[in-house]
Amino acid sequence: MENITAEHLHTIQDHPNNNELEDARYIPIVVLGSLSSSLSLIGSACIVYMSCHELKHIKQRLLLSLSLADMVSSMACLLMPFAVPSFLGLPGAIGNHASCTTVGFFHLFTFKLGAFYNTYLSLYFLLLVRWNWKEHNFSKTAEAVAHIIAVAIPLSIDVAAAATQSLNPLPGLANACAYSTYPVDCGDEQDCQRSTLQTILVLHRVAGSVVLLISILGFGATGMVWFTARKQFQTSRKYRFDRSDSSLTKPATTSSRTGNAKSSSSMDANDKYIRQVGVQAVLYSLEQLGQRDFYGIQILFWILFPLQGAFNFFVYTRLSVQRWRRVHPEASIFWIYGQILTCAVLPNHNRGSTVHRNTSRRDVRLSPQKALEQQRSTGREEDGSSLQQPAASSNPPEQKVESP
């Protein structure tokens, strides 16, 4: 009890800035952060549920890993206001240094882990679009090594932070548990009770360099994918326009149709990942800029930072929502999301006549082999009818021949 009382007096009297936010300003941050974390947790859980049905594809495995990281990060943000030390006097704070270290460890570790998997998704689409890789081109060993790297680097940084007692309440982020000394303004004049300024500086430099390099790599890969897909799409559209002027009946090759569909789908799919990587970089910048007097930045940080899971969910399901909307234009958005979450098969009865007409037109005009088979079968039928006709006409002369 004496140690706790001394710690209370030391915190309140000597370091009043540790609880610089008044309750009227601190409670809105907690409420908005909890709401954002809950939405992100639900969105990430939905992606995990839908991705578990298609784990044979690399993209689904990467999305599953990203969503699991977002789930843990959102849960850590949700528990953060309750895990901070209770002696700070913050509303709802019931924790201590150990709980703050635990929550801060999982929060920062999974944040960097999500940055790695965002970059992996960008690199996956780069190999898929620019170099025409297929699913079988990706080595299982290389994929395993990529997962190990994504986990090992952030884990080593945050294990070092926890071992050096460098995860403490940071007033610049509304007392979130992050890389900080305790007390936060300790220095040469006063010894720090937990960690040192040199240790915090090294952690910030290492973690910031990792996130920055990963973000640059993700931006570069996604930019190359976007420009490649756009170029392929424009070339394919120009070729179709020129071909329609020269020959209206010349069929489109299977490779051109496949390349066009691949380019357009890749542009649509990868446009979302450049936004995801961008949000990761912006959020880390907000973390660095979140100083004591920047209350507006703290509000913005706690709204956007835990919201990654919800953002990923809406981006992940956007194309499916559009497809369901075309088939069922009268359905509500909640019914459509219910069908998507239950992995219902998209019906195509409204598109059946169009598909049948297009298929029959391709069979007659665009498929030479099927046309040749139809011509041969027609020729055989004509030969059979011609063979039967002389047999019928040869019988009457034989019947007319009589002996004298």
Domain residue spans of the chain? 96-305
pLDDT in tens, 291-341: 445 677 778 888 888 888 888 899 888 888 999 999 999 999 999 998 988
Highest mean pLDDT pick, 82-86, 247-251, 256-260, 389-393 = 82-86
Residue count of the chain, please give it. Answer: 404
> What is the reported pLDDT for 388?
47
Q: How far apart are CA 374 and CA 353, in angstroms?
A: 23
Tell me the Ramachandran region of residue 27: left when phi exceeds 0, alpha when psi lies from -120 to 50, beta otherwise.
Answer: alpha
> What is the reported pLDDT for 240?
61
Q: 67, 62, 61, 22: which is closest to 44 by C-alpha?
A: 67
> What is the reported pLDDT for 302?
84
One-letter amino acid for residue 321 of the chain:
V
> What is the reported pLDDT for 281?
52
pTM given for the model = 0.69
The answer on pLDDT for 266 being more than 80 is no
Cα dihedral across residues 157, 161, 167, 170: positive or negative: negative
Q: Write out the two tokens for 112.
A: 């960097």
3-state helix, strand, coil in the chain (%, to 5): 80, 5, 20
pLDDT in tens, 271-294: 555 555 555 555 555 555 444 456
The answer to whether residues 183 and 97 touch, using CB atoms and an 8 Å cutoff, is no
> What is the reported pLDDT for 46?
92
pLDDT in tens, 146-174: 999 999 999 999 999 999 999 999 876 77
Cα dihedral across residues 344, 349, 352, 355: positive or negative: negative
pLDDT in tens, 175-226: 789 999 988 888 665 678 889 889 999 999 999 999 999 999 999 998 898 8
- φ/ψ of residue 134, rounded to 5: -110, 175
The answer on pLDDT for 361 being more than 70 is no
